[in-house]
Each structure stands twice: as structure tokens, then as C-alpha cells.
Amino acid sequence: MPLDVKFVAEKSPCYPDLKGQVALVTGAGTGIGRGIALRLAAEGMMVAICGRRPEPLAETAELITARGGEAFARPGDVGNPEDVARLFDSIVARFGPVDALVHNAMLMKMVPFDKLTSELWEEAFATACRGAYLLSRLAVPEMKAHQRGGIVMISSVGGLRAHLPGLPYDATKGALDSMVRAMGIDLAPDGIRVNGVAPGSTLTRREITASNLRNEKVPLRRDGSPAEVGATVAFLLSHQSSYITGQVIYVDGGITAQLSLPGVWL
């Protein structure tokens, strides 16, 4: 593996313009959300994190502070308007207004269509899409007042190409992709850029090594890491991406560009 993915990480700050800004990362207790929070903290951002489970959030906050960063953790349900309002009040009291919103919280449930219940459908959309709206509704006014701000929605390759089974997860990600485009155009005159990041196969539950990253089904022959998703988010929030809005960036090792697996002709 030519690339040491541990280098593409929260330990390699690249964007000095992010230093001192306030970021909110949802679903930041584990996995991709944690990787994003660690990277933004390494860039010098003050990072507020939220999620449903207090213990993983506390672990993420401890990792940030142990590395010299500033973090604030608040458990809550992003699909609940009262929880979101309390979250923003807490962030403003601790750090000030939110400059960057990264919405990663999701319900990763995939079931066959004939086993899909209305309750599961509603819960998935409440977290992903209602949450995206509620969070943005409170973040945008301050961003408009300063004529700048960044919003990144964490999507998935499933928003473009279906998993099997893929419902309701893929449907929520497709909706988020549409929100990115619509909000990106709507908010562009106010200096607010809205983009999406769509990870592919990403190793989130084990320590990353060259051996357990290997994945022959992916064109790059390996899975991705949360740090690599975090690196893309940091870029999209920085001035280095100042002419990018309304786009979904695929961090997938080439999966969405690939028609079929190696050796399979369709």
C-alpha cells in the first residue's frame, strides 16, 4: 500500500484560515464523525460534538483535548427541535456562533423493501433529513450575518448507487444530496457554501493497519479511513475550496466510477 493512511489524518493541519472558528459535528461519537471532529480540532477549530450516546461523545472529546484541542460534547437527538435549540444555545454560550456545520448523524439501517416499516422510515429521515434542516435553520442566520460559513452534509455512495438492500438508508442519503444542491444555490449569494462528502467502504470499527484495510473489490484495493473523510471535510470548509458549492465529493477509492468488479464483464 503506497500511502500511509495514518498520515492523512487529524495530525496534519493544512488550513490556517480555519483556526479559531467554531465547528459543530453531529454523530461524532464514533467512526467517520469522530474522524472529522479530530481533523477539524487539529486545524485549530473549536469543535462542538453531538450524538445520541454520551459515552462515545466523551471519548471523542477526551481525544481532542488530549491533543491540545478544544471540544464540547452535548448528547441529543438532531431530529428533535428542542434538542437542537438547546444544543445551539450551549455552543454559543461556550464558543460563540457556529461557523461550520458538519451533519454526519444517521440511522444506518438497511432492510428489504417488504420488511421496511413506516416507523423505521420516519426515524431514518428524522435523523438525516429533518436533522439537516433543523441544524441548518439555526446555523444559517449567523452565517448570513457574517456573509460566510460552511455546511457539509455527510452522504454516502448509496445516495448515487443502491446497496442491496438499501432502504431506508440510501433514500435518506439521496435526499441529502438534493439538499446540498438546493441549499448550495439558495445560500450562495450570502457567502455560505454547502457541499456533501460521500464516503465509500470505510473502516470504522477496528484499528487501521495495512492488512485490514485491504479490499480487492475497490479500485484502489483498500478501504478508506475516517481520517481521509475528515481531510476532505476540512478542505471543503477552508478557503482553498472557495469556488466549490452545491457539490457532492465521493471519497470512495473509485467505487462509483467502477462498472463491475475486476474480471466481471457486463
For the annotated catalytic residues, the residue numbers are 169
Q: Please name every residue paired with 250 in a beta bridge, in sequence order, or none if there are none.
A: 198
Cell for 201? 467502504
Residue 105 CA, chain-centre distance (Å), reads: 8
Q: Which amino acid makes up residue 187? A: L
